[in-house]
Structure 1
Amino acid sequence: MAEPVDWSPDGTPRSPRFADLYPSAGAPLEQARHVFLEGCDLPAAWAGREGWRILETGFGLGLNFLAAWRAWKDDPRRPRLLHFVSVEAWPVSAQDIVRGAASTPEVQELARELAAQWWGLVPGWHRLQFEGGQVLLTLCVGDVRKMLDEQSFAADSVFLDGFEPRGNPAMWELDTLKAVARCCRRGTQLATWTVLGQVRRDLAQCGFQVEKVPGLPPKRERLRALFDPAWTLRRTAPARRDAAGSALVVGGGLAGAAAAASLARRGWRVEVLDAANEPAAGASGLPAGLLAPHTSPDDNQLSRLSRAGVRMTLQEAGDRLVAGQDWQRSGVLERREAGARLPAPLGPGEEEWQQPADEGSLWHAAAAWVRPGKLVRAWLAEPGVAWRGGLTVRSLANRAGEWVALDEDDQPIASAEVVVVAAALGSAALLDRRLTLHPVRGQVSWNLHGDPPPPAAPPRNGHGHFLPDVPLPEGRAWLTGSTYGRGETSPAPRAEDQRANLERLRVLDPEAAARLAPEFQAGTARAWVGVRCASSDRRPLVGELAPGLWVSTAMGSRGLTFARLAAELLAARLQGEPLPLPARLAAALDAQRSAMPAAAAP
């Protein structure tokens, strides 16, 4: 859509104003339908397909996305999964998203749903989910060329949109269109409102067959194009799989349950096999945990990964759990050590992730306490998932193109065409020691509140964490910890770890420590122990190790942060979908980075 640029005094573009973009909100929705949907033969082109991938080069007020979403909802032959990947350098406000749809009743409610997730849009990638995870918006905030270069999928439709070419030529230059073409498969359809001669010539040079077609008055013409280059395409696109199949998931904790739910949403038939008699019996059985972003002075990989994971888990908790009972978006006060360097500034939207609080502290609004077991059970309740407990998988074998889970007597338990190993430390043996995994023992101190109840306060973290008031089945409770015993596997509580947790609490919240110290000293404070699984570099391991053999493990102490992110990354890799992360950041989680050939394993 033709959008004028709002220029700063220093000559750089800044976020466009609503009134500048769309003085009349009704016409742009008609343009979205006429130019982009009709220009890409939608919804007819996606009829009967399992998934559809749309790439857009300028999100603006989101009207193209809202139009596509509305068309998807109204189509009885819609694809199971609609991916919409859009690049936007300067996101508008949530209020402008709603205002943009104010005069169009059929998308007003969708706009409000979009606006509710329209927060914290710092530069980088943001995965927003709708319709129970069947409509996925991947918003890439930043320079269009850089964002396109990080894509790793083949689009079915391209909406070539953005500011008017003369006002912002970088959106339309040849190198940008080449980057768009690299995201296309032969047969991808493209649509745009401009008929500028240079754009037509550059599209043709990139392999598009271009034609002018009647436009929406007052515009006389628009463009539609088909990616069908005369030359042989030498690049290898990610293998695309539309037909769902059968999968085994070994492990019924956070990682396994999340993987099962992500596959089932895509139509897979999933069996989850667990040695325990109940889900979330291992480290995922923590009574309550803290979900919070990691910060660093240089906004390192872990910080960026944690923001992506926190956003996705917050969405899942909001969709699946009962607020105030199973979880709460409480925020967290991060206590930083004296002399610690401040975290890197994140840019526009930063205040919804981090902002200074009192001296030496940061406030994170995007944080929550969560009862992990509730989330595990919610994921296992996804239609298409069957959970089977009390089954110990001793080995895996590939027989006649299927993966078979075998018991200790080498008898088959279950089989499927794909297997996902998510058995924490037990994953190494099932993978013939291809991966090196490390145990990390953690002890959390906790107890029920007496009378009077504690003063209202948010959770705290830093060197450890403190949840001051969480509802558990036994009653309202506090939790603090955790120890981090590398290489330790003992499940027995330790008095010295209780003392260590109290010392951490004295730093995090001196008043709470003074109030709770008598419980520690009297030995009435309870202890919970879990053994977590970590990789050598403390990042999760996600990916395919052999045809049909996948892994999602090594979440360390951040299972709440990484389980859902890892599951969506695994599903996207398996089906050739748009990734929830930039390609280079996704590579930081790839299990192949530390894998050994099975024959070389000790």
Structure 2
Amino acid sequence: MTWRADGVPRSERFDDIYHTESGALAQSRHVFLGGCGLPDAWAGQPRWQVLETGFGLGLNFLATWQAWRADPARPRMLHFVSVEAHPVSAGDLLRAAEAYPELAALARELAAQWHGLLPGFHRLAFDDGRVLLTLCVGDVQPMLRAQRFEADSIFLDGYSPQLNPQMWSADTLKAVSRFARQGTRVATWTIARAIRDALQQQGFTVEKRAGLPPKRDCLSGVFAPAWTVRRRGPAPERIDKPGRCAVIGAGLAGAAVAASLARRGWQVTVFDAADWPASGASGLPVGMLAPHVSPDDALLSRLARAGIRATWGELARLLEEGRDWRASGVLERRPDGDTRVPAGWTSAGPNESWPANAGQLAAAGLPERTPALWHSRAAWVRPHRLIAAWLRQPGVEFRGGCAVARLATRQEGGWQLFDANGERLIDADRVVVCAGFESGRFAPALPLQPVRGQVAWGPMPADADLPTTPLNGDGHLIAHVPVERGVPIWLAGATFGRDSTALEPTQADSIANRERLARLHPAAAASLAGAFERGDVDTWVGVRCASGDRRPLVGPIDAPVAGLWACTALGSRGLSFAALCAELLAAQWHGEPLPLPATLAKALGTQRL
């Protein structure tokens, strides 16, 4: 895009301007918010869900967000879903908003998350996770097919129908109509006869409104078909009155689910057999948050990328960088020498994983020609700190030393939880099982596999020369991690013992971790040799939970009564998947926009197995 001398932004691709000369913010407020009756229409609602075709410079989103912030009667949650085939730069977002002081702070928050916008869905969270922007990067019709929810407001935006006919085609407007429910309002700046006719054919009653000069008119309407609308497949569930939920398990999965549901108004009680949260596999002293990159951008790569974005926002919002986590980047050694990234990433703008350069290798203490990838959007994390932060959220209660032994349905609906002595622990409207490999006690049909892991860790020796950059590949190494008292720690590992639940450290795994470290970073292994020989190295053992296909499980558990769900089998990527899976579960309960394309959401569902 370019900027004209009068400050109006122009798209060279479509040979059109982004907004009228009378001003983008005035257009957003008059045409789109005013055309959909906002903010009055959302007063007292539990959530409001907007679908937009054409994100552009983001001013419709910023205007809607600003109106939500300013309204004391605002809904608890604001969802804004927008399709954009060609995202602009973060700098252009800021420049477009700089003329409007009331949007400046919001624009800076948006620009801070405006990165890595590869084709697909990107969930950006603001205002403690209560304002959620789902940016769908790609052509409009495939993106609309990949999403599913009922919109309360629809903003039809984009370049003129003559210059961008695909955005305004009858097929596109038909796809848009699938998001409408009875009473959904639609607004747009164009009054082209073909657009009006197409909307009416899809069930919208439309009318011209006074436009914003120099445009004389604009268009608004309401979805009120004269026929019975038949949707393909069952209507999405939509809970509007949250109640009480019990979560079994206080690891990453359980804490993330509790926080996501509490944001939506649920009263959540988290039960764990241990006295403290993060007492199982999530209690690793320090973990790594790093993407999975494959040349064909395989399913796991796309899931991990979405998960890291979700987790990153929570880390930045809840934890102290440098103490609880660090946006350090991660260097990944590729034992097979394959440092390819997917074709097309170059044209998608700035990205976050590339073949490592000589400077990055040197900083990590590796030879210049070492085959490796550099992940800039990667970090080390103290998992127990993130879990504690999630469990501190309003509406969440933790009950430790409280093992759930049995579930029973209530005659009036919902569930009762009992301990081993038959004492009733709680009555709940819904239950979510997040108990790792122990989840099988409540969901025996799920194919769960325990995977034992052992790591080596300890205080950094005074003479140790360890890289400040975390490394992964065949195992991983994290060093210079601060602790509450004493010297920083390091950690290396981990082993994978399938179908093992033994928690005692083994000498064989200790040897395996030393050998793995020697392959990953020979100089670090030599630097720590004395600590191993003196016995100054601690071990930690945890048992992860994996599914049959190594993907998380999120969805209902087959039970006589509805309301029993699972969020489990996060495997060795709990930090990558916990926040994403929790948001997917919450979206499915409330009929919200999906944080993932429908095919990826299905790939995580319990129904697949």
TM-score normalised by the shorter chain: which range applies?
A: over 0.9
Contact residue 410 and residue 416 of structure 2 kept, 8 A:
yes
Q: Give the residue type in structure 1 aligned to 2:478.
A: L
User: Does residue 210 in structure 1 map to residue 225 in structure 2?
Assistant: no
Q: Give the residue type in structure 2 aligned to 1:372.
A: P
C-alpha distance in structure 2 between counterparts of 1:405 and 1:393, whole Å: 6
Contact residue 154 and residue 237 of structure 1 kept, 8 A:
no
Contact residue 59 and residue 86 of structure 1 kept, 8 A:
yes
Equivalent position of 1:276 in the other structure: 274
**Helix, strand or coil for the counterpart of 1:244?**
coil
| 1:39-438 matches, cutoff 5 A | 39-235=35-231, 236-340=234-338, 342-345=340-343, 347=345, 348-349=347-348, 351-358=350-357, 359=369, 360-400=371-411, 401-431=413-443, 433-438=444-449
User: Does residue 578 in structure 1 map to residue 593 in structure 2?
Assistant: yes
**Helix, strand or coil for the counterpart of 2:50?**
strand
C-alpha distance in structure 2 between counterparts of 1:526 and 1:23, whole Å: 65
Q: Give the residue type in structure 1 aligned to 2:573.
A: R
Q: For residues 467-495 of structure 1, what are the alpha-carbon distances to aligned partners after superposition, in whole Å with 9 as ceiling and x for unaligned?
A: 02211235301111111111111111112
Q: For residues 537-590 of structure 1, what are the alpha-carbon distances to aligned partners after superposition, in whole Å with 9 as ceiling and x for unaligned?
A: 010000112411111000000000011001000000011100100011100000
Q: Which deviates the most, 337-346 or 298-307?
A: 337-346
Contact residue 151 and residue 183 of structure 1 kept, 8 A:
no
C-alpha change, 1:364 and 1:339, in structure 2 (3 Å) is closer
User: Does residue 21 in structure 1 map to residue 32 in structure 2?
Assistant: no
C-alpha distance in structure 1 between counterparts of 2:525 and 2:288, whole Å: 18
Contact residue 182 and residue 224 of structure 2 kept, 8 A:
yes
C-alpha distance in structure 2 between counterparts of 1:354 and 1:30, whole Å: 39
**1:430 Cα offset (Å):** 1.6
Residue 517 (structure 2) aligned to one of 505, 511, 523: 505
Q: For residues 30-61 of structure 1, what are the alpha-carbon distances to aligned partners after superposition, in whole Å with 9 as ceiling and x for unaligned?
A: 10000000000000110000100000000011
C-alpha change, 1:346 and 1:515, in structure 2 (3 Å) is farther
C-alpha distance in structure 2 between counterparts of 1:510 and 1:526, whole Å: 20
Structure 2: any 5+ residue segments left out of the alignment? 1-7, 358-368
C-alpha distance in structure 1 between counterparts of 2:50 and 2:235, whole Å: 16
**1:124 Cα offset (Å):** 0.8
**1:456 Cα offset (Å):** 5.1
C-alpha distance in structure 2 between counterparts of 1:5 and 1:585, whole Å: 32
User: Does residue 494 in structure 1 map to residue 506 in structure 2?
Assistant: yes
C-alpha distance in structure 1 between counterparts of 2:295 and 2:564, whole Å: 37
**1:368 Cα offset (Å):** 0.6
C-alpha distance in structure 2 between counterparts of 1:449 and 1:390, whole Å: 34
C-alpha distance in structure 2 between counterparts of 1:23 and 1:204, whole Å: 26
TM-score (norm 1): 0.94
Contact residue 123 and residue 346 of structure 1 kept, 8 A:
no
Q: Give the residue type in structure 1 aligned to 2:65.
A: W
C-alpha change, 1:350 and 1:559, in structure 2 (3 Å) is farther
**1:225 Cα offset (Å):** 1.1
Q: Give the residue type in structure 1 aligned to 2:254.
A: G
Contact residue 440 and residue 484 of structure 1 kept, 8 A:
yes
Contact residue 3 and residue 164 of structure 1 kept, 8 A:
no
Contact residue 5 and residue 167 of structure 1 kept, 8 A:
no
Q: Give the residue type in structure 2 aligned to 1:217.
A: P
Equivalent position of 1:439 in the other structure: 450
C-alpha change, 1:478 and 1:129, in structure 2 (3 Å) is same
CA RMSD of aligned residues (A): 1.7
Contact residue 3 and residue 163 of structure 1 kept, 8 A:
no
Equivalent position of 1:10 in the other structure: none
Equivalent position of 1:475 in the other structure: 487
Structure 1: any 5+ residue segments left out of the alignment? 8-12, 595-602
User: Does residue 30 in structure 1 map to residue 7 in structure 2?
Assistant: no
Q: For residues 5-49 of structure 1, what are the alpha-carbon distances to aligned partners after superposition, in whole Å with 9 as ceiling and x for unaligned?
A: 423xxxxx6xx99xx53596x710110000000000000110000
Q: Which deviates the most, 292-301 or 250-259?
A: 292-301
- Percent same amino acid among aligned pairs? 55
**Helix, strand or coil for the counterpart of 1:584?**
helix
Equivalent position of 1:587 in the other structure: 602
**1:455 Cα offset (Å):** 5.4
Contact residue 462 and residue 508 of structure 1 kept, 8 A:
yes
Contact residue 439 and residue 533 of structure 1 kept, 8 A:
yes
Residue 12 (structure 2) aligned to one of 6, 17, 20: 6
Equivalent position of 1:484 in the other structure: 496
**1:402 Cα offset (Å):** 1.8
**1:346 Cα offset (Å):** 5.3
**1:452 Cα offset (Å):** 4.4
Contact residue 337 and residue 372 of structure 2 kept, 8 A:
no
Q: Give the residue type in structure 2 aligned to 1:540.
A: P
**Helix, strand or coil for the counterpart of 1:530?**
strand
C-alpha distance in structure 2 between counterparts of 1:35 and 1:562, whole Å: 39
Q: Give the residue type in structure 2 aligned to 1:515.
A: S
**Helix, strand or coil for the counterpart of 1:317?**
helix
Q: Give the residue type in structure 2 aligned to 1:187.
A: G
Q: Which deviates the most, 34-43 or 465-474?
A: 465-474
**Helix, strand or coil for the counterpart of 1:352?**
coil
Q: Which deviates the most, 51-60 or 517-526?
A: 517-526
Q: For residues 238-289 of structure 1, what are the alpha-carbon distances to aligned partners after superposition, in whole Å with 9 as ceiling and x for unaligned?
A: 1222221110001111000000000000011011111000011001100000
**1:349 Cα offset (Å):** 4.7
C-alpha distance in structure 2 between counterparts of 1:3 and 1:136, whole Å: 26
C-alpha distance in structure 2 between counterparts of 1:350 and 1:289, whole Å: 29
C-alpha distance in structure 2 between counterparts of 1:589 and 1:507, whole Å: 34
**Helix, strand or coil for the counterpart of 2:23?**
helix
**Helix, strand or coil for the counterpart of 2:488?**
strand
TM-score (norm 2): 0.93
Residue 517 (structure 1) aligned to one of 510, 519, 529: 529
**1:457 Cα offset (Å):** 2.4
Contact residue 254 and residue 559 of structure 1 kept, 8 A:
yes
C-alpha distance in structure 2 between counterparts of 1:591 and 1:124, whole Å: 23
C-alpha distance in structure 2 between counterparts of 1:170 and 1:543, whole Å: 36
C-alpha change, 1:351 and 1:494, in structure 2 (3 Å) is farther
C-alpha distance in structure 2 between counterparts of 1:408 and 1:120, whole Å: 49
C-alpha distance in structure 1 between counterparts of 2:124 and 2:588, whole Å: 18
C-alpha distance in structure 2 between counterparts of 1:280 and 1:110, whole Å: 35
Contact residue 454 and residue 469 of structure 1 kept, 8 A:
no
C-alpha change, 1:58 and 1:37, in structure 2 (3 Å) is same
Q: Give the residue type in structure 1 aligned to 2:329.
A: G
C-alpha distance in structure 2 between counterparts of 1:456 and 1:33, whole Å: 52
C-alpha distance in structure 1 between counterparts of 2:89 and 2:201, whole Å: 37
Q: Which deviates the most, 447-456 or 397-406?
A: 447-456
**1:355 Cα offset (Å):** 1.0
Contact residue 503 and residue 543 of structure 2 kept, 8 A:
yes
